[in-house]
């Protein structure tokens, strides 16, 4: 079949492909440790499971409005008002099938063909492709020291075609959390150049030290007026398979995303909407238990990587580390490194090239501590065999 140029150019998500490969090898009997995962290894909270079950059993599982069920839009607006310190109403919210769906909706609603979208590196794999699908041109901005956004470089990269700036704090893959000063500077940049700011806040609850993540919407009315928050249930509530999220911004943006989705996907999953509303309403205690467990695992992994002499930016949030492995790479770069590691040590991790930084690799700590220790032993054997002898 003849396929469109649009889809011919789209790459399969590297992280999803790797995760699938690791699972396939494990199913074939290989003793694979999978650190390529991008989802919490915890069950969804009990309140979430109960709400989902109750909704199914009630029989009330028909379509909801395309913008989302009123009860969920209200719950999201109340949650945003409380956590971001700025008033939100249901009209500001478009419920989506996931955060990824919210991102694509906002990009399609704001980007004209050829518009430039600034993406500070490292950045989550899907940003680049989603911008292209929307007809935009992703402009990748290399980071400053410590894998943090380079504010000066971002300002220098603005051209008359620049339309959108994407921020993600806490960040996948490097785990940085923008300082409040950085958030303010990025918001100022967007205001000064009349850019739309897309703030991906999917890891907002998973911060382990220092000040909490600040949303650009709380910087001031000018910033708020041009910011689209995208967020969802996947990471904070361990609800990845429920596929539910939202985009929130000015009412005209929420309405535009809704118009788009009313044609493309229709109303979000009714059962998942009930489950997400329960999560937001009840703030289940399991979330804090999960956060603490991630915090402890992060320390184990960081100590292990330090012991191996791998330079690793200290992550404050999310559940990934992003060490620099440049001295250990051959001409195949981070992809070759990860292929060999999987082949030789049965350890699955993600090449940094997927996030725009080939000198790095991403390891997820969404797995139990004993497996993290075992993974570190495998990584050590691999690194020792590779390290050029001095």
Site track for ligand PLP across 310-339, x = CB under 6 A: ------------------------------
- Select the span of 28-36, 52-60, 92-100, 308-316 touching ligand PLP (CB under 6 A): 92-100
| Residue 202 sits in the site that holds ligand PLP (CB under 6 A) | yes
Size of the site for ligand PLP (CB under 6 A): 13
Contacts of 170 (CB under 8 A, 6+ apart): 176, 177, 203, 204, 206, 207, 213, 315, 316, 317, 318
Q: How far is the CB of 203 from ligand PLP (least distance, A)?
A: 7
Does residue 175 belong to the site contacting ligand PLP (CB under 6 A)? no
- Please identify, using beta-carbon distances, which residue of 92 and 168 lies nearer to ligand PLP: 168
Check residue 138 for interaction with ligand PLP (CB under 6 A): no
Q: How far is the CB of 357 from ligand PLP (least distance, A)?
A: 15
Q: Least Å distance between CB 377 and ligand PLP?
A: 27
Three-state SS sequence of the chain = CCCCHHHHCCCCCHHHHHHHHHHHHHHCCCCCEECCCCCCCCCCCHHHHHHHHHHHHHCCCCCCCCCCCHHHHHHHHHHHHHHHCCCCCHHHEEEECCHHHHHHHHHHHHCCCCCEEEEECCCCCHHHHHHHHCCCEEEEECCEHHHECCHHHHHHHCCCCEEEEEEECCCCCCCCCCCHHHHHHHHHHHHHCCCEEEEECCCCCCECCCCCCCCHHHCCHHHHHCEEEEEECCCCCCCHHHCCEEEECCHHHHHHHHHHHHHHCCCCCHHHHHHHHHHHHHCCCHHHHHHHHHHHHHHHHHHHHHHCCCECCCCCECCEECCECHHHCCCCHHHHHHHHHHHHHCEECEEHHHHCCCCEEEEECCCCHHHHHHHHHHHHHHHHHHCCCC
Query: Cβ closer to ligand PLP: 205 or 328?
Result: 205
Q: Using CB under 6 A, which of 104, 110, 168, 366 touches ligand PLP?
A: 168
**In sequence order, what are the residues at sequence separation of 6 or more whose Cβ sits closer than 8 angstroms to the Cβ of residue 10?**
129, 132, 133
Which of 324, 308, 313, 322 lies closest to 379, judged by CA? Answer: 308
Nearer to ligand PLP, 243 or 297 (CB): 243
Regarding 237 and contact with ligand PLP (CB under 6 A), the answer is no
**Binding residue (CB under 6 A) for ligand PLP from 200, 286, 293, 358:** 200
Residues 30-59: x/- map of binding to ligand PLP (CB under 6 A)?
Answer: --------x---------------------
Q: What value does the CA radius of gyration of the chain take, rounded to a whole number of Å?
A: 21
Q: To the nearest whole angstrom, how small is the minimum distance from the Cβ of residue 341 to ligand PLP?
A: 21
Q: For ligand PLP, which is the closer residue by CB, 45 or 245?
A: 245
Q: Does 346 participate in binding ligand PLP (rule CB under 6 A)?
A: no
Q: Which of 79, 100, 261, 298 binds ligand PLP (CB under 6 A)?
A: 100
165 — phi, psi (to 5°)?
A: -125, 130
Binding flags for ligand PLP, 115-134, as an x/- string (CB under 6 A): ---------x----------
172, 227, 273, 366: residue in contact with ligand PLP (rule CB under 6 A):
172
Task: Verify binding: residue 169, ligand PLP, rule CB under 6 A.
Answer: no
| Residue 98 binds ligand PLP (CB under 6 A) | yes
Query: Does 136 contact ligand PLP by CB under 6 A?
Result: no
Among 81, 218, 240, 346, binds ligand PLP (CB under 6 A): 240
245 is a site residue for ligand PLP (CB under 6 A): yes
Distance CA 38, CA 49 (A): 21
Give the residue, chosen from 40, 45, 120, 232, that forms a contact with ligand PLP under the rule CB under 6 A. 232
**Nearest to ligand PLP of 39, 150 (CB atom):** 39
Q: Which positions touch ligand PLP (CB under 6 A)?
A: 38, 98-100, 124, 168, 172, 200, 202, 232, 234, 240, 245
């Amino acid at each position: 079949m003849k396929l469109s140029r649009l889809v011919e150019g789209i790459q399969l998500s590297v992280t999803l492909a790797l995760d699938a490969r690791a699972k396939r090898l494990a199913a074939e009997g290989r003793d694979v440790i999978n650190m390529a995962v991008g989802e919490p290894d915890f069950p969804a909270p009990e309140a979430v499971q109960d709400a989902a079950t109750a909704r199914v059993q009630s029989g009330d599982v028909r379509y909801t409005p395309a913008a989302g069920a009123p009860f969920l839009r209200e719950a999201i607006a109340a949650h945003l008002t409380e956590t971001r310190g700025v008033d939100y109403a249901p009209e500001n919210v478009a419920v989506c099938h996931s955060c990824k769906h919210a991102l694509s909706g906002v990009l399609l609603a704001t980007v004209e063909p050829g518009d430039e979208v600034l993406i500070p590196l490292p950045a989550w794999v899907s940003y680049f492709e989603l911008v292209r699908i929307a007809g935009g041109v992703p402009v990748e901005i290399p980071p400053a020291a410590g894998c943090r956004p380079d504010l000066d470089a971002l300002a220098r990269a603005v051209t008359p075609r620049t339309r959108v700036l994407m921020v993600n704090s806490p960040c996948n893959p490097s785990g940085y959390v923008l300082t409040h000063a950085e958030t303010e500077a990025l918001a100022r940049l967007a205001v000064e150049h009349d850019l739309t700011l897309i703030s991906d806040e999917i890891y907002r609850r998973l911060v382990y030290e220092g000040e909490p993540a600040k949303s650009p919407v709380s910087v001031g009315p000018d910033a708020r007026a041009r910011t689209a928050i995208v967020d969802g249930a996947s990471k904070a509530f361990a609800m990845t398979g429920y596929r539910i999220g939202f985009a929130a911004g000015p009412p005209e943006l929420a309405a535009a995303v809704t118009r788009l989705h009313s044609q493309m996907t229709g109303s979000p999953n009714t059962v998942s909407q009930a489950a997400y509303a329960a999560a937001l309403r009840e703030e289940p205690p399991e979330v804090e238990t999960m956060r603490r467990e991630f915090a402890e695992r992060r320390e184990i992994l960081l100590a292990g990587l330090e012991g191996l002499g791998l330079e690793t930016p200290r992550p404050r949030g999310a559940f990934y580390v992003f060490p620099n492995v440049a001295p250990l790479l051959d001409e195949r770069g981070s992809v070759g490194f990860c292929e060999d590691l999987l082949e030789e040590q049965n350890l699955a991790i993600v090449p940094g090239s997927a996030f725009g930084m080939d000198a790095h690799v991403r390891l997820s700590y969404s797995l139990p501590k004993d497996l993290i220790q075992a993974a570190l032993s495998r990584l050590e054997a691999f690194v020792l065999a590779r390290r050029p002898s001095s």
